[in-house]
Structure 1
Amino acid sequence: MSVFENPRPYALLPGRIPRPSRWMLITVSALLAAVALSGVFAVYAGVRLYTLIKGDFGFATAPQAQLDAAYSQYETAGKIQVCAYAPCAVMFIVWFFRMRRSTGLLAPDRFRNGPGWAIGAWFIPIANLWMPYRIALDMWGAASPLPADGESFRAPMWPVNLWWGLFVFNTLLSRYAARHFDRADTLVELRDAVMQYMVSDALEIAAAGAAVYFVVRLTAMHWRKTTEGPYLTAV
């Protein structure tokens, strides 16, 4: 029996459930793609600079103009990443809040905190490494298809886990790499810091891709549940 053929009655929901905006979904996905592209450019710039720093001998014999150009390009890549990340972070948090508010109407008993935490959780030091993840899990569970034949059901959690795992690893590694890059006194230390940054940039690209999948999948589940599920929505 399909979940939508379940004969059990469901309560009338208070008012029409707001559906996620298709344009917001497109905008968030496009901004995440821009973040990924900026990461690709940063990796390219990092590889170029890294290959010019092969210890003291390699650096000493490389043309100074070429080294200056590579370093300048690397700094430019970092600025582009900031310009791409800032609007993406703002729009993602807006989408996150609206999705929390909307999914809260589907299953209010699944949530541990109020909708405001979908914004505030991102700005609490240390706690922002897991609180948004808990909210994302609650939203995922609320948007999951309803159980059939009395059996519990929940959509596979790996999209949430993959996105958040990559995001956290990228965040921690980028902070570590930034500290080493700023404190680098020798060419070897600078080379190692650039390598750490390249790994961080690669994680950022993967995290952006996983975030797009998470956003699209959660929005699709929510849309399907509000349009095809057994809920009766008041006009």
Structure 2
Amino acid sequence: MNTDNPYQVNVPLDTKPTPPAGYRPLEGPARFMNIILKSNAGAGVLWIITQVLLLVTLYQISSGQAGSFNYMDAELNAPDILVAVAGLLIALTYLASIIGSIVWIHRAHSNLPFFGARQLRITPGWAIGWFFVPIALLWKPYEGMKQLYQASKEPSAWKSAPVPGFLGLWWFLWIVTSILDQIVSKFSDRAQTLDEFLVLTYANIAVAPLGIILPVVYNRVIQEITKLQEERLESVDRKSDSRDGPEFQTGSQDSANVSPYGSGQDSFDRSDASGQGTSGSDASRTSEAHPGSDGSSSRFPSIDPSSGSKDRFGP
């Protein structure tokens, strides 16, 4: 005998409410970046281990305890393989971090008008694009991330919001690591003798810790800003009687009448705001920059055992 209730409706208990119009969720991209950046830091630890093993092998060769200095020799096969694996892991996680950063940065900046932030100087598209503009990439990306943090914390008065120290630390590490990696990369292209490879390996070991600290600090930047926006969304949700209430309509109505991107930007920002950021919907359609432009310090790490160059993170 069938005892099922014909009027019963099964409703999942763990369904999440649909995000309000104008808000782009950050939880997924932030979780992805958390995994990728931690994986990259782990690959950096493996890179140091491989360089130490390579250094030991090179010293054995120099003292006559091993074969000749020839990368075809069996003595160098094992270190070569480990260096190649570590370099490949760094390259893959770095590439994934670029893609994840583009998505997360654009979404996070696109949410600022929804929370009521106005007079913004950098649009979502340019928050990404500045990473690939020569010379400007030395400071403009930091300005974009600084604006993102401040406007996420205090949308109505973001210009006076305090900036945490870890944000400046992230940018300092990004600049220093990029410069040092380029120097090491240039030297690795010219290294030919045993002594030169010994110096190169020492340089790789010295620079590698920065490549571990940098993704950890960058991950904190991402998670903190994501937390700020999620907390603000919950605050708006509590104040609203429904998802169609005035609190959720304010951002879209204001964006339709007043551009969230104010005066005072440089010429590039003005053209971006006027051409693509004149409304909240236009800002979300701002074209995203893609990695690979000339002038960026982005360069994938070589899996050549003699090279340890691995510029990263931002994005």
TM-score range, shorter chain: 0.7 to 0.9
CA distance in 2, matches of 1:153, 1:116: 24
CA distance in 2, matches of 1:199, 1:18: 43
Per-residue CA distance 1:48-103 (angstroms, 9 max, x = gap): 11122239733x43244222321332133212211121111111121111111112
CA distance in 2, matches of 1:105, 1:121: 23
Q: How much has 1:105 moved relative to structure 2?
A: 3.8
Give the AA of the match of 1:103: L
Are the counterparts in 1 of residues 154 and 161 from structure 2 also a CA contact under 8 Å?
A: yes
CA distance in 2, matches of 1:204, 1:17: 36
CA distance in 2, matches of 1:141, 1:57: 55
TM-score normalised per structure 2:
0.62
Higher RCO (CA < 8 A, seq sep 6+): 1
Among 84, 87, 107, the residue aligned to 1:98: 107
The equivalent residue for 2:37 is 32
The equivalent residue for 1:206 is 213
The equivalent residue for 1:187 is 194
User: Are 1:224 and 2:227 matched, yes or no?
Assistant: no
Q: Give the % identical residues.
A: 23
The equivalent residue for 1:234 is 249
The equivalent residue for 1:21 is 26
Per-residue CA distance 1:8-58 (angstroms, 9 max, x = gap): xxxxxxx84415331221111111111111111111101111122239733
User: Are 1:51 and 2:61 matched, yes or no?
Assistant: no
Are the counterparts in 2 of residues 163 and 210 from structure 1 also a CA contact under 8 Å?
A: yes
SS at match of 1:53: helix
Among 115, 137, 146, the residue aligned to 1:137: 146
Closer, same or farther in 2 for the Cα pair 1:55/1:176, shift >3 Å? Answer: farther
The equivalent residue for 1:171 is 178
Are the counterparts in 1 of residues 105 and 124 from structure 2 also a CA contact under 8 Å?
A: no
- The correspondence of residues 86-125 of structure 1 with structure 2, limited to 5 A, is 86-106=95-115, 107-109=117-119, 111-125=120-134
TM-score normalised per structure 1:
0.81
Which consecutive residues of structure 2, in runs of 5 or more, have no partner in the other structure? 1-19, 68-72, 241-246, 251-315
Among 58, 76, 82, the residue aligned to 2:91: 82
Closer, same or farther in 2 for the Cα pair 1:164/1:104, shift >3 Å? Answer: farther
Which consecutive residues of structure 1, in runs of 5 or more, have no partner in the other structure? 1-14
The equivalent residue for 2:255 is none
CA distance in 2, matches of 1:209, 1:49: 26
CA distance in 1, matches of 2:111, 2:205: 38
Q: How much has 1:142 moved relative to structure 2?
A: 0.3
Are the counterparts in 2 of residues 178 and 193 from structure 1 also a CA contact under 8 Å?
A: no
Are the counterparts in 2 of residues 20 and 219 from structure 1 also a CA contact under 8 Å?
A: no
> Which stretch of the first structure deviates more once superposed, 62-71 or 203-212?
62-71
Closer, same or farther in 2 for the Cα pair 1:57/1:194, shift >3 Å? Answer: closer
CA distance in 1, matches of 2:132, 2:91: 18
CA distance in 1, matches of 2:187, 2:133: 24
Are the counterparts in 1 of residues 149 and 163 from structure 2 also a CA contact under 8 Å?
A: no
The equivalent residue for 2:65 is 61
Are the counterparts in 2 of residues 145 and 221 from structure 1 also a CA contact under 8 Å?
A: no
Are the counterparts in 1 of residues 23 and 114 from structure 2 also a CA contact under 8 Å?
A: no
CA distance in 1, matches of 2:24, 2:127: 17
Give the AA of the match of 1:140: Y
Are the counterparts in 2 of residues 170 and 200 from structure 1 also a CA contact under 8 Å?
A: yes
CA distance in 1, matches of 2:195, 2:84: 19
